[in-house]
Amino acid sequence: MRLIILGAPGSGKGTTAVVLKEKYGLAHISTGDIFRSNIKAGTPLGLEAKSYIDKGQLVPDSITIGMVEGRLAESDCAKGYILDGFPRTIAQAEALDEMLSKKNEKIDAVLSIIVDDDIIKDRVCSRRVCEKCGASFNVKYKPTKVEGVCDLCGGSVVQRADDTPETVEARLVTYYENTKPLIDFYDAKGLIIEGNNNVDSDTCIKSIEDGLAKLGI
């Protein structure tokens, strides 16, 4: 099973991906993780990407696509995977199709997580993150047992600097500008499965699982 997951910042995309990963035995492929791994390992693509990042510039598609191709060739992807953060543009989506077609493979479904903007803003602005282990909490929906202290490692739990209403609004605008064409691209192929996460993650995940079952995946 080869999946792509799309969702606005704060939509619950990461939580959904983790649950599906465990249920179906998939690799969770995050472009952020791929970049960090390549940069840390000092690979040629990682060093090239770092040169752009250090200048505050966007990493060219050719580098990103090369990293993704290398990651998909690793053994844990043999049973299937969820792509998270890639593709971000039509050009990347077309490159992915070409990459997979060389191996007689294809994307089976594209999961689109739907959440109202007001709910996203509320969730993100009340989100808190552990400085030590990165665990995520929420002062309204998933508070720590002890205020400001991580339940998992005892580290300090803080609000990220970019989890503000103004920043969230800007990120949503960027997301919709970039992602709407991508959703249309995959919808034309009949691959979109929507998961509504306005209520709770269980409802969202159940609708996605039902959608996958209808496709016979």
pLDDT tens digits along 188-201: 999 999 999 998 88
Give the least confident one: 110-114, 169-173, 191-195, 207-211. Answer: 169-173
* pLDDT more than 70, % of the chain: 100
Number of other residues whose CB lies within 10 A of the CB of residue 127: 19
Catalytic residues: 13, 88, 127, 160, 171
Q: What is the mean pLDDT of the chain?
A: 92
pLDDT tens digits along 49-68: 889 888 877 788 899 999 99
Name the pLDDT band for 19 (thresholds 50, 70, 90). very high
pLDDT score, position 195: 95
pLDDT score, position 161: 84
- Among 213, 180, 177, 210, which Cα is nearest to 195's? 210
Q: What is the CATH number of domain 2-26+79-116+166-214?
A: 3.40.50.300
Name the pLDDT band for 90 (thresholds 50, 70, 90). very high
